[in-house]
Structure 1
Amino acid sequence: MPSKEAQLPQSPSNQADGQVRPSVPAGGATVYEEWHAGIGRTIGFRKVTLEADFERLHAWHREPHVVPFWQLAIPADKYRAHLEAFLADSHQTLYIGMLDGEPMSYFESYWAERDVLAGAYEAEPGDQGIHLLIGPSAYLGKGYAAPLLQAMMRLQLREGGTRRLVAEPDARNAKMIHIFEQCGYAFQRHIELPDKTAALMIAARNRAEELLNR
């Protein structure tokens, strides 16, 4: 049986999405990269580091389109403490998303069983969740969100223990809910979390792989 990576779309030479290149196991280095023919850009992810990304992420979290849903427009010292705590939390991994090498988005990939989300639904071993935002407003409305999410899904599915992909966007965020639906997540129900009413959305592994391999 071919590996999961072999089942993914091939290189840009045959005009397919999803070229997978080897991971680089170093913090701050690119850990995933693919060419997306639909947007004509290379999507990449690298792990967040405090030194490289504190100022960038603090600025992004104060963008008007981000503030209502993330609630992290806080002073620099408090944001630094927040980021340090998140980087030290072993149940999640923080990524910078890039287009053609330019940082422009932020992702939090987490294991739902060890997250506050587990108290709001029937979490199962292998449920992997995601939070994401596009930082600079210049990248909004360009059709980048779905390709970025699909690339992150491919990265998450590299973990053999991942059985389902889960998300809990703010119930008010209709645009983000639509993006998740485009990428194969199915709405389950509304749930109450400490900071929001959320739309619980789930994509089973086989469903996600089927969509990503088209």
Structure 2
Amino acid sequence: MSSYARADENLGTFSLRLLSLEADVELLHSWVTHPKAAYWMMLDSSVDDVATEYRRIADDPHHDAFLGFRDGTPAFLAERYDPRFVELPGLFDAADGDVGMHFLCAPASQPLHGFTLGVITTVMAWLFDDPAVRRVVVEPDVGNTAVHALNAAVGFEVVREIQKPEKKALLSTCTREQFLTRIGAAA
């Protein structure tokens, strides 16, 4: 059962549901250990390592993981977190209404034009579907130029570079208004 769904006229229906560690860990492992997921920093992880990490997320009251689907087929991972407690404490003065986000598209044998933009648009629309969310915060690796371009495409603005324990990151934010202006109110 999905917790959110969005129709894309060119790509089909995207939906999300809470990650089920028992049902999804093998699939998730295949995604996070794929070379295209290098910035996820889990390339050498075992299934048990992935299970441990996502169990930690499931047990954290400030962090959630969701499996995303395209037309009913698993296609992406999304994480939602409270930046006051996860990823950014001491690095960013989070405000009420801020939510952090990560997303990962499944490796594809046949790339689908516009798919990744469809995924990030869906994830952002899902986050902003909660009226309490005023701004989305991200902290991708400074070297991940593909994600920087996608972030800009949906309205993110760079705040500054930050040094996290595991990486140098490009802290960026996107308000609801910036998102709607960039993608249009039809999202």
CA contact (8 A) 2:157 2:172 kept: yes
C-alpha separation between the residues in 2 aligned to 1:172 and 1:141?
24
Match status 1:35 vs 2:44? no
CA–CA distance in structure 1, aligned partners of residues 146 and 87 of structure 2:
24
Alignment map for 1:171-210 (pairs within 5 Å): 171-210=142-181
8 Å Cα contact 2:158/2:170 also seen in 1: yes
Deviation by residue 1:103-144 (Cα, 9 ceiling, x = unmatched): 011111111112131321222121111111112232646321
1:206 CA drift (Å)? 2.2
The alignment's TM-score, normalised by the length of structure 2, stands at 0.91
SS at match of 2:22: helix
| 1:41-82 deviation digits (Å, cap 9, x = unpaired) | 11111110012111011111110110x211113122222211
Aligned to 2:125: 154
Alignment of 1:165-176 (within 5 A): 165-176=136-147
1:88 counterpart letter in structure 2: D
**Which residue in the other structure is 1:104 paired with?**
75
Whole-Å Cα distance in 1 between the matches of residues 88 and 114 of structure 2?
Answer: 28
Provide the rounded CA distance (Å) in 2 between the counterparts of 1:118 and 1:145: 29
CA contact (8 A) 1:43 1:99 kept: yes
Query: Is 1:59 aligned to 2:30, yes or no?
Result: yes
Between the aligned partners of 2:93 and 2:111, the Cα distance in structure 1 is 34
Partner of 1:25: none
Larger Rg: 1
Amino acid at match of 1:31: S
Q: Counterpart of 2:41?
A: 71
Greater Cα shift, 170-179 or 204-213: 204-213
Amino acid paired to 2:45: I
2:127 is matched by which residue type in structure 1?
Answer: Q
Q: Is the 8 A contact 2:11 2:118 kept in 1?
A: no
The alignment-based identity, stated in percent, is: 26
Paired amino acid for 1:71: M
Contact kept? 2:54, 2:65, Cα under 8 Å? no
Quick check: 2:36–2:107 contact (8 Å CA) kept in 1?
A: no
Query: Could you say what secondary structure the match of 1:104 adopts?
Result: strand
Q: State the TM-score, normalized to the length of structure 1.
A: 0.80
1:88 maps to what in 2? Answer: 59
Give matches, 1:12-27, under 5 Å: none
- Runs (4+) of structure 1 exceeding 6 A deviation are none
Q: Distance in 2 between matches of 1:141 and 1:171?
A: 25
The count of residues paired between Structure 1 and Structure 2 equals: 184
Residue 164 of structure 1 pairs with residue 135 of structure 2: yes
Instruction: Check conservation: 1:111, 1:126, Cα contact below 8 A.
Output: no
